[in-house]
Structure 1
Amino acid sequence: MSMKRKTVTCKVENVEEVPEMSVLDLPELALECILERLPPDALCSMAGVCTSLRERCMSDHLWEKHMKHKWGRIIGPVAYTAWQGHLATRTEFGNPKQAKQKGLLRILSLGWPFSWIKSKADDNFKQKSSLPIHSVMAWYLALETGRFSFPAQVYNRENGHVGFMLSCYDAKISYDPRTDTFQARYPPHGSRAPAIENGVPWERLRAPPVDTPHHDLHISDCLNELRPGDHVEIQWRRNKEFPYGWWYGVVGHLEPCDGNENYCRCHESDTVVLEFNQYTPGSRWRHTTINRKDHGEEGNEADGFYGGIRKLSNEEEISMWRRLWPSEVLE
């Protein structure tokens, strides 16, 4: 019996190599849907991957959604004007050509609180990565890091001091990302140093509803339509050196009127009664009267000075004042 050497032949099948997929290979609509669902920190991470993703992730329409969601309630036209002024005066962007763009990682490293930011970035990448300073993303990052202070209004200032209950005052605020609260710097009262309050929560802030400076009389445009039961805010200040604050009240009935809707003619009178029911009956702060035909700043050094009036027609504004109502009647 002869021994035959068996030869084993290995057949190697030709396997077609499949190229690796990239997120950029996705259809444009699919990629856009993914980016729209990313939170701000993920968008910033994606912006550092490549030039193509960077341009997409820095698009204003993506950041406008995040801006509105987080900052929309306390950012208004007054804050936007302040941001434009901030950009115009920044010495860092003194050269108009350089003012258009800055390194993305350099801006983020100034304070953006994400662990993925490296303290040292490649110089070449810095030059290629650019963040237009007028972009919504740049504004969002400036707010988020607390590097940009902006005008807003604070309810019940100075930690709800009894002297400011149910009022709202102008302040310049800055965000503290470590505590998710704000620092508020109030305008000075005469020769006094500006008051500073730390730890102000989101729920005590709002965007200024009007652009009247805090020392100016607001021009009222609602006087002729005020009727008993209307909710209002009125300017008030202790003396001429103090800034105005906005104080919550309601329109009341004149003394001869019993409040019967069928016979009430209070809305036809030139005299308007304003009630501040957070104060006890008999308090000098309980009510005041104004003339709807000839209203300007009214008052004296003893009781303070009343200014312009806003009629509240937004239920959200009215509900906010109700939530702030003091647990005890004020003297």
Structure 2
Amino acid sequence: MEMNSEEDPSPMSLLDLPQSILDFILKCLSPKDLLTMSKVCVFLKRKCQSDRFWENHIKEKWGRVISDAVYKEWKWHIEIAKDGVLMKNNQTASMGSFIGDWPNVCLCSYLQDCNFLTAQKSNNFMMSLYFSLQTGSFWFPAQVYKGMMIHNALVNYDSRSNTFQARYVQNGDWKLIGKKIEWDMVRAPSVHTSPYLLYVSQSIQNLKPEDHIEIQWRPNAQSPYDWFYGVIGHLDSCNEDCCQCHYNGKKIVDY
């Protein structure tokens, strides 16, 4: 019987791949597949929980509706969890971040269930943020279209209906703006100013007739500002055949 003198090559392991190729493969995986891959071994667990892979998934799915304020608020929740405050106080309910003085208090974010932030999850910033958004545990600041108004609100995601629900806090009370809000009705806040502060645009002098703008409005000094649409119009004295309105310091807004 003739023997094969050449030994069969040993099978290649995923871990034998060059680092750049392995990273490319992991970058192409879905969140579900990343979780599955993380159970293979300790090395892949660390790799699959890396912020850079989960940051891509956050930007791809949530980039349109979250702003830098969301990352800042999630960092606040992470730091609270790492400090062990929740464990020391045996806190198992909800936790929110507030700014301002009463009655001008703004609820910045809201974690519905503090048990969500286990020690392991608090060590993986982007991955824990992704799943806090995906499961609807994290209420985050955003803006919601309703008619001609744009409301500053806290929203959370319902994966079953692929929609959002939104609430805002006024004088200590939660008020529902709506449920089953579609994706195209939610956006990241257009400015970084607190809803209780007047935003001063640097572009006012450059506005001209027919420009579409958004204007802050609130019913009283104790309420946060919302936004509504307007269009720059012509001054009463304008000769539209030779319009000079954009050179005037006064602006007419049509609602």
Into which bin does the TM-score normalised by the smaller protein fall? 0.7 to 0.9
Letter in 1 for 2:76: G
Is the partner of 2:169 in helix, strand or coil? Answer: coil
Which is further off, 229-238 or 147-156?
A: 229-238
The structure with more strand, counted as a fraction of residues: 2
Gaps of 5+ in 1: 1-10, 97-109, 112-125, 157-164, 277-331
Structure 2 residues without counterparts, runs of 5 or longer: 88-114
Aligned counterpart in structure 2 of residue 136 of structure 1, from 107, 120, 126: 126
- 1:107-146 paired onto structure 2 within 5 Å: 130-131=120-121, 133-146=123-136
Larger Rg: 1
| SS of the residue 2:240 aligns to | coil
1:251 aligns with 2:241: no
68, 74, 78: which is aligned to 1:87? 78
For residues 97-147 of structure 1, give each alpha carbon's deviation from its aligned partner in whole angstroms, at most 9, with x where no partner exists. Answer: xxxxxxxxxxxxx88xxxxxxxxxxxxxx99xx555352122112211111
Once the 2 structures are TM-superposed, how far is the Cα of residue 222 of structure 1 from its aligned partner?
2.2
User: Distance between the aligned counterparts of 2:56 and 2:21, measured in 1?
Assistant: 18
Q: Which residue of 2 aligns with 1:57?
A: 48
- Counterparts of 1:264-279 in structure 2, within 5 Å, are 264-276=243-255
TM-score normalized by structure 2? 0.78
Give the whole-Å Cα distance in 2 for the aligned partners of 1:210 and 1:72. 15
Residue of structure 1 in register with 2:160 after alignment:
178
4+ long deviations beyond 4 Å: 190-193
Deviation at 1:12, TM superposition (A): 6.2
Once residues 73 and 240 of structure 2 are traced to their aligned partners in structure 1, the CA distance between those partners, rounded to angstroms, is 46
Q: CA RMSD in A?
A: 2.7
Distance in 2, matches of 1:143 and 1:180, equals: 12
Of 217-226 and 56-65, the range deviating more from structure 2: 217-226
Shift in Å at residue 25 of structure 1?
2.0
Give the TM-score normalised by the residue count of structure 1.
Answer: 0.62
The reply on whether 1:25 has 2:7 as its aligned counterpart is: no
93 and 19 in structure 1: CA distance in 2 versus 1, 3 angstrom threshold: farther
The residue that corresponds to 2:28 in the other structure is: 37
Distance 1:259 1:60 in 2: 55
- 3-state SS in 2 of match to 1:43: helix
Q: 2 CA distance for matches of 1:135 and 1:239?
A: 38
| Cross-structure match for 1:210 | 191
- Number of equivalenced pairs: 226
The alignment-based identity, stated in percent, is 38
- CA offsets per residue over residues 162-214 of structure 1, 9 Å max, x none? xxx222111111111121111211232x5865224221111111111112222
